[in-house]
Structures are given as C-alpha cells and as structure tokens.
C-alpha cells in the first residue's frame, strides 16, 4: 500500500478486535474527530462507542474486504490476529503496525529469536516441540523454568511453571501438546514496561516507564515513576527503540522488561520478557497523567498525524479491577481523586479485566 498523507479529521480507522483496548482507542480517536469501525468475530465493548461495527470471522475475506473499503487505515488491538487476515487487509488498506510486527509478536519463539538477534538481552529460551526435547532440556538446565505455548498466550494463559524434576510428559500435556518455548525463570528486582510510539515519519517518543506488579499472571498495578535512574531509563528506551525500528513499526509498541538490579552491568541489566504490538494495560495511566494518552498517540501514528508529547504532568498509580473487584464500583466512584474506568464487559467472571482505577499524585521528579 502507498504511504498515507495525514488522514483528515472525519476519516474512519478500522480496528481489529473489540475489547477494552479497542474501546479506549475509539474514545481517543473521537477526541481528534476520527471515526472508528470495529471488526471482531464476537460482540465486544468497543462496539458501544464505535461509529460502525462488523461481527464476522477473521477468515471471512468478503467481510474483510468490505471492512477495508469502508476505512482509510487499519490497526489492531490484540496480537493474536490471524496472519492471513492481516495480510489480506494489508493488501487493501494501510495497516499500522504492519504484518511483520504481528508475525513476530504473536509467536513467542519468533519474538525471542528476533529480539536476541538485535543484541538485546532476553531470558534464556529453547524451542520445545515434544515431551522428549522438554525432558532433555529440564535435565540439562537443572533450573526453574516456564513452559509457554508459542501461540495465543496472554495474561498468564498457555503457560506452566516447572522445576528440574517436573515430569516432561505431564507438562507438555498440560499446555495441550503444542509447539512451545521453555524459558529460564530469572530472578528480577522488578518489571518495567516501555510504552514507545513511533510515527509514520519515523519520529519516536516514549512515555516514562512504569513499574508493574502481577498477581496470578495478570497485571495488577502499574506505578509511575518507577524509580529507574536516568541512565537505566535511557537503556530501556534504547532497547525498545531498536526493536521498533527493526520492525519498521508505526504505532504504540510495548516492551516488558525484567530489571535484574543495579549490581548487573547496565548492558545486561534489562531483559526483555515480551513485546506487545499495541497499546498496553501498563499504559492506562497515560489517560489522566499525560496530555496525550497512549491511545491517542497510537491513533495519531495510525492516521499519519504528528505525535503528541509523551511527557507526564503527574505521578500516577493504575490498579486493575479483575473479576469481582469491579463490584466495588460505587465505592471507587466515591473515592476523591480516583479516575474510575469500567469497560462494560458484562459478567464479572474471575480473571476477567473489568475496569481500572487511576490515582494521580503531584509530580515528584
């Protein structure tokens, strides 16, 4: 597809996926006078706010072609978009980020191989295609590890923790006998994420990196500032920028990293855990703490607009509302200074992200 000049206000951007990330992308686009068309195989909360919605399978190429004809550019809110779907769309309309980012980020093995190939530290990993290769690795490594499916993993799904004496056959069965990656469990001081945005013209900017804490494999809380020293912040941004440029990435890219601590030499200190070719839960605080949020900057990049400043005016804490935690909505709404976000996802099922709360504090640095 030819390069876009900036899409004028009033243009329509297509989004694959209809979850809360899509919903917040639609709301950010609306501020700029941009309309959205949501395409998803099931109904989702983004459809409540989008100008247009299509519910159709991701392999319905007629529906995808109609979708492409109704929009001026396309993006996606999740990395498990089938590649054939992305490639079909990319032939008809500008897709940002492109199919390469999807191809790399949706497959844990491709992702780790790609990042390691850029000279950026990743957790030690190996390919696992059967129980025998897993058994050999467990015996050889003699370490605590995590076995993860290559495809379709998120929020701790499709993975299992192993010790050196775990039974390989059982573990491989537990993840559904799928192509997988075995990762060495590393001891880290904290997890941070880089929320980097790259414009269609190659301009790069990044939000300050939050520190993230997880509960049961799901992000529970992001805090900004993370306390990273300036030289450390520069290194994590440099890693993320190298990844974005290697992917010729356009949009918001998230890179989750483990901080091994300041006793480790700075070039080895930050280990990439995973990347997400999209806006990210750990960047929700940018809605309140920055003049231009991660969602708006993603849509600006997709539309070929100038990026907005990533600087923050306030410190912030973002806490997810998982499952039944959302039932406290009335109390949270009454909390002075709390910004409550509810995704209108229906039943508050366990482990379902139902909303989040952001609290601001005066800027400390």
Does 308 bind a second copy (CB under 8 A)? Our answer is yes
From 80-88, 167-175, 241-249, 285-293, span contacting a second copy (CB under 8 A): 285-293
When binding is defined by CB under 8 A, the residue of 237, 239, 341, 353 that contacts a second copy is 341
22 vs 121 by CB, closer to a second copy: 22
Residues 321-340, mask of contacts with a second copy (x by CB under 8 A):
-----x--xx--xx-xxxxx
User: How far apart, in whole angstroms, are the C-alpha atoms of residue 204 and residue 167?
Assistant: 46
Residue 138 phi/psi, 5-degree rounding, is -60, -40
CA–CA–CA angle 161, 353, 144 (5° rounding): 10
User: How far apart, in whole angstroms, are the C-alpha atoms of residue 244 and residue 198?
Assistant: 7
DSSP for residue 289: H
Does 17 bind a second copy (CB under 8 A)? Our answer is no
DSSP for residue 82: -
Does 313 bind a second copy (CB under 8 A)? Our answer is yes
Does 43 bind a second copy (CB under 8 A)? Our answer is no
Structure tokens at 21: 């990330």
Name the CA dihedral angle for 295, 296, 299, 304, rounded to a multiple of 10 degrees.
-140
User: How far apart, in whole angstroms, are the C-alpha atoms of residue 23 and residue 19?
Assistant: 6
From 75-83, 87-95, 269-277, 300-308, span contacting a second copy (CB under 8 A): 300-308
How many CB atoms sit inside 10 A of residue 201's CB? 12
When binding is defined by CB under 8 A, the residue of 1, 4, 35, 110 that contacts a second copy is 35
260 vs 360 by CB, closer to a second copy: 360
Structure tokens at 325: 């935690």
Does 6 bind a second copy (CB under 8 A)? Our answer is yes
Rounded to a whole number of angstroms, the minimum distance from the CB of residue 224 to a second copy is 15
Does 31 bind a second copy (CB under 8 A)? Our answer is yes
Does 27 bind a second copy (CB under 8 A)? Our answer is yes
Cα(first)–Cα(last) distance of the chain, in Å? Answer: 44
Rounded to a whole number of angstroms, the minimum distance from the CB of residue 215 to a second copy is 22
Give the chain's radius of gyration (CA, Å): 20
Does 344 bind a second copy (CB under 8 A)? Our answer is yes
337 vs 350 by CB, closer to a second copy: 337
User: How far apart, in whole angstroms, are the C-alpha atoms of residue 341 and residue 338?
Assistant: 10
Structure tokens at 89: 């769309």
Does 364 bind a second copy (CB under 8 A)? Our answer is no
Does 285 bind a second copy (CB under 8 A)? Our answer is no
DSSP reduced 3-state for 275: strand
From 45-53, 137-145, 150-158, 210-218, span contacting a second copy (CB under 8 A): 45-53
Rounded to a whole number of angstroms, the minimum distance from the CB of residue 112 to a second copy is 36
User: How far apart, in whole angstroms, are the C-alpha atoms of residue 137 and residue 130?
Assistant: 11
Which residues have C-beta within 8 Å of that of residue 318, sequence separation ≥ 6? 210, 221, 222, 223, 282, 284, 285, 356, 357, 358
Does 176 bind a second copy (CB under 8 A)? Our answer is no
Residue 321 phi/psi, 5-degree rounding, is -105, 105
Does 204 bind a second copy (CB under 8 A)? Our answer is no
When binding is defined by CB under 8 A, the residue of 4, 30, 143, 174 that contacts a second copy is 30
How many CB atoms sit inside 10 A of residue 235's CB? 17
Does 96 bind a second copy (CB under 8 A)? Our answer is no
CA–CA–CA angle 73, 196, 184 (5° rounding): 115
When binding is defined by CB under 8 A, the residue of 15, 16, 21, 49 that contacts a second copy is 49
When binding is defined by CB under 8 A, the residue of 15, 233, 292, 318 that contacts a second copy is 292
28 vs 128 by CB, closer to a second copy: 28
- Number of residues interacting with a second copy: please give it, by CB under 8 A: 44
Binding site for a second copy (CB under 8 A): 6, 9-10, 23, 26-27, 30-35, 48-49, 51, 288, 291-292, 300, 305-306, 308-309, 311, 313-314, 326, 329-330, 333-334, 336-344, 346, 355, 360, 362
């Amino acid at each position: 597809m030819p390069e876009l000049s900036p899409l004028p206000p009033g243009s329509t951007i297509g989004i694959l996926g209809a979850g809360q990330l899509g919903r917040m992308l639609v709301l950010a686009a609306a501020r700029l006078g941009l309309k959205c068309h949501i395409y998803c195989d099931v109904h989702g909360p983004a459809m409540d706010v989008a100008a247009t919605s299509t519910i159709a399978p991701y392999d319905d190429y007629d529906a995808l072609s109609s979708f492409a004809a109704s929009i001026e550019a396309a993006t996606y809110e999740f990395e498990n978009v089938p590649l054939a779907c992305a490639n079909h769309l990319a032939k008809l309309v500008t897709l940002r980020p492109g199919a390469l980012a999807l191809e790399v980020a949706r497959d844990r093995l491709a992702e780790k191989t790609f990042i390691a190939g850029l000279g950026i530290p990743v957790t030690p990993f190996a390919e696992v295609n059967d129980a025998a290769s897993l058994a050999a690795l467990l015996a050889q490594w003699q370490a605590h590890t995590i076995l993860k499916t290559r495809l379709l993993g998120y929020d701790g799904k499709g993975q299992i923790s192993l010790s050196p004496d775990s039974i390989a056959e059982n573990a491989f069965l537990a993840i559904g006998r799928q192509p997988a990656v075995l990762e060495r469990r590393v001891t880290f001081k904290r997890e941070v994420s880089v929320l980097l945005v790259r414009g269609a013209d190659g301009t790069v900017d990044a939000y300050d990196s939050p520190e993230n804490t997880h509960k049961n494999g799901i992000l529970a809380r992001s805090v900004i500032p993370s306390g990273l020293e300036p030289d450390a912040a520069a290194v994590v941004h440099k890693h993320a920028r190298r990844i974005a440029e290697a992917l010729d990435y356009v949009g918001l890219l998230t890179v989750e990293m483990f901080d091994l601590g300041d006793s480790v030499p700075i070039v080895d200190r930050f280990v990439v855990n995973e990347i997400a070719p999209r806006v990210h839960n750990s960047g929700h605080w940018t809605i309140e703490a920055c003049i231009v949020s991660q969602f708006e900057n993603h849509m600006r990049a997709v539309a070929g607009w100038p990026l907005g400043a990533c600087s923050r005016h306030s410190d912030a804490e973002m806490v997810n509302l998982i499952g039944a935690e959302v039932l406290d909505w009335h109390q949270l709404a009454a909390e002075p200074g709390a910004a409550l976000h509810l995704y209108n996802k229906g039943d508050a099922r366990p482990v379902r992200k139902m909303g989040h709360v952001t609290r601001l504090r005066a800027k400390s640095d």
